[in-house]
Amino acid sequence: MKKIGVALLGLGTVGGGTYRILKQMKEDIMRTDGVEIEVLHVLERDIEKAKALGVDPAIVSTDINNVINNPDIKIVAEFFGGIEPARSFLIASLKAGKSIVTANKEMFAKCRDDLEVAAKEGNAGLYFEASCVGGVPIIRTLQAGMQGNRIQSIMGIVNGTTNYILTKMSDEGLEYADVLKEAQRLGYAEANPSADVDGFDSMYKLSILSSLCFHKRIPLDKIYREGISKISKIDIDAGKSFGYTLKLLAIGKKVNGKIEARVHPTFIKNDNPIASVKGSFNAVLLNGDNVGDIMLYGRGAGDLPTGSAIVSDIVYAAVQSEHKLSYVAPTTDEDFNTDFESEYYVRMSVKDIAGVLAKITTAFGKYGVSINSVQQNASEGVASVTFMIHNTRESAINKAIAEIKSLESVNTVDALIRVL
């Protein structure tokens, strides 16, 4: 039976989960896949953490050379997170002919070109299923299950923290700040939650996923990004009255040959299947020109769900006779449309005086922004006005809002949310 040596770089939450799955599933993998996976080395500073997992201390060190220089190690799985030393260690491993497996979406999104060059030099494989949507096999689906289609769009909830927060706000009528504190207490959100709530995590994942969908490199600077920290329960409740649910969506699509890539809070119709995805769960909706819609759903994070994806990649890499890199072509500015079209929800506070709505609608009309509906609630000289805007370009709505903000009769523009 084929034997494959593996090194694990780190035994944190996901690294520890991966080690447990490899031990638990060893006999099953041997029986079903015909390969014996053996962990030959672990890079970990905390020897007690390794002992607690049952790792032989003799194979634990902090020296990457113990991995690079061991010819029996064929696959290196990385769990450090961040850019360095993960990038340097993985590039050295690839150049030494060792295939790599990683869940590090930031490093992969930012350093993919460098990793691919090293993989070609070492004739090694590059596997990253766990970098997007945890244990949900979205990468394998895109690489090996959609060859009969030109993918038209990808849309999904790819960050569990923000979905948990928005679900709690919607279901329990809570404000963002209160739910964030609870999410941090429960371990769903980091002490510094910016990567999640400001949309960076979703942006990294969208770069990876949309590059596979459209076979074009999607740089991070071509992705519009907006987080959820300004979302109010007022807007969530208003959306409900219109039949909408609010989600932080990662959206990639091809429109007239141009690629759109964006991450932002989005109102979606309640009958959209993604609207029913609650808590920390993730879901991705693909549309292919021949197959139509395909939806993948599951846990997007955690030790065992993500470890499941890591182990899947380890086994997949172990049984390959030849490693193949995904075809992703370079792009130029001409490949992208950053001035996308959408419907919009706009909420503002204005002085409750005659003529204010006329001035606002004039400003909208000046830039070709068409109003679908208006709701107004007034109290003590101040009115809260909500507009639903017909499909229009991002540049047009932004110019109109800039002019409206300058009107003396407008106090604040409190919300601008895209509507799908």
pLDDT along the chain (420 residues), means of 10: 96 94 97 97 95 95 98 97 96 98 97 97 97 94 95 97 96 96 89 96 98 97 97 96 97 96 98 95 97 95 91 97 92 95 97 94 97 91 95 98 97 97
Domain 2-132 has CATH 3.40.50.720: yes
Domain 341-419 has CATH 2.30.42.10: no
- What does 212-234 look like in DSSP terms, one character per residue? HHHTB---GGGSEE--STT--HH
Tokens of 224: 């519009």
Residue from 48, 85, 49, 51 nearest 65 by CA: 85
CA distance linking residue 230 with residue 227, whole number of Å: 8
Strand 73-78 and strand 2-9: the pairing is parallel
Residue ranges matching CATH 3.30.360.10 in the chain: 138-299
Domain 138-299 has CATH 3.55.40.20: no
List the catalytic residue out of 98, 105, 168, 205: 205
The pTM for the full model equals: 0.95
Residue ranges matching CATH 3.40.50.720 in the chain: 2-132
At 121-146, the pLDDT tens digits run: 999 999 999 999 999 999 999 999 99
At 1-44, the pLDDT tens digits run: 899 999 999 999 999 999 999 999 999 999 999 999 999 999 99
Q: Is 98 a catalytic residue?
A: no
Query: What kind and span of H or E run contains 410?
Result: strand 410-419
Residue ranges matching CATH 3.30.70.260 in the chain: 341-419
DSSP state of 349: E
